[in-house]
Amino acid sequence: MLRSCFDDSGTHADSRVVVWGGLIGNTEAFSVLEYLWEQFLREPAEGKPSIKKFSARDCRRGRGEFDGWEEGARDRARKIARDIIVKSQLVPVCYAVPLDDFNRIIRGRVRRAFGDANAIAFAACADTAMKLAKKRNEAMACVFDAGQETPFLTELLADNIKRAKDMSVPISHTFQAVADSYGLQAADTIATEHYWYTLNSIQTGSAEPEPHMRALLRDTDPFGYVMVRADMENLRDRYRKQFPLWRYFGRKR
């Protein structure tokens, strides 16, 4: 049995990039992560009190449960979270969509067909889980952040279930609160670190990740993508070729 947990980052109103990311693996690997994560929450850094939930964003900024923590202790907590992911041997998965290019290129009827950037990154995670389950000939149980449970995303998952059924892939999807799931908290770490990496590359033009992200890339075998301008143009052009404008207006009538 395979499991996957996915969370989002960058879905706030003024974001320049949307990310969905998480972890995929067997139940044994998730058991390792959950055991170590529970210990981590009890002692997130030497001399610091226990926390209820690890948020990579709060940790980096010194907010929420990390309010008043010195930078060294917060950096240590991020490292421990990263090390747990590595020790679990789960596979990190992440998909990022830069919004400036997306909003210029994917518009009108193409946008209505594929959805917004959040939907595309979300669907990419669900599709990856399905394809991996097919490859390994195992059932897949996907867990997503309950904060993103919307009718549109639920509809995307319904389409995914139909495709999985056609491919004879047993797959299920559920939504949970991040605070109640150690797997989703680890997924938040993946998504958030990837968000910072992608945002920095957009703002500075540098593809050099910061130390935490660099260590994750070095010590795991991740897969995913950052959707670049050429990907978006290809998506738009393929749709227009498959559904030319005369056919679109004919369908509208």
- pLDDT tens profile 166-190: 999 999 999 999 999 999 999 999 9
Euclidean distance between CA atoms 57 and 98, whole angstroms:
19
* Secondary structure class of 23 (helix, strand, coil): strand
On the CB side of 37, CA atoms within 13 Å amount to 24
**Mean pLDDT calculated for residue range 194-207:** 90
CATH of the domain at 84: 3.30.420.10
1-10, 66-75, 80-89, 143-152: least confident range: 143-152
Helix (H) or strand (E) holding 175: strand 171-176
For residue 165, give the amino acid letter: K
Average pLDDT in the chain: 92
Q: Which whole number is the average pLDDT over 104-119?
A: 93
Residue 98: inside a domain: yes
Looking at residue 89, its pLDDT comes to 96
Instruction: Check residue 247 and give its pLDDT.
Output: 58
Q: Which of 27-41, 112-126, 191-205, 236-250 has the lowest mean pLDDT?
A: 236-250
Shortest CA distance to 53 belongs to which of 158, 179, 170?
Answer: 179
Does residue 252 sit within a domain?
Answer: no
Give 253's pLDDT tier (boundaries 50, 70, 90).
very low
Type of residue found at 201: S
**207 belongs to a structural domain:** yes
Inside any domain, residue 127: yes
248 pLDDT above the threshold of 70: no
Domain count, the chain: 1
Domain range enclosing 185: 2-228
Would 108 be classed as within a structural domain?
A: yes
Longest dimension (CA), the chain: 68
Does the structure show a pLDDT above 90 at 73?
Answer: yes
Q: Kindly state the average pLDDT of the residues 201-218.
A: 89
Q: Is 67 exposed, middle or buried (0-12, 13-18, 19+ CB in 10 A)?
A: exposed
pLDDT score for 223: 86
Q: How far is CA 107 from CA 14, 33, 118, 250, in A?
A: 19, 41, 14, 20
Return the DSSP state at 26. E
CB 241 within 8 A of CB 235: no
pLDDT at 102 over 80: yes
* Number of neighbours of residue 209 by Cβ within 10 angstroms: 19
- Is the residue at 242 inside a domain? no
Given pLDDT bands bounded at 50, 70 and 90, which one contains residue 249? Answer: low
Judge whether 90 and 49 are in contact, CB under 8 Å. Answer: no
Count the residues in the chain.
253
> Is the pLDDT score of 245 beyond 80?
no
Instruction: Give yes or no for a contact between 52 and 41, defined as CB atoms under 8 angstroms apart.
Output: yes
Residues of the chain with pLDDT > 70: what percent?
Answer: 96
Indicate whether 131 belongs to any domain: yes
pLDDT of residue 251: 53
Instruction: Band the pLDDT of 140: cuts 50, 70, 90.
Output: very high
Residue 180 falls inside a structural domain = yes
Q: How large is the average pLDDT for residues 10-25? A: 93
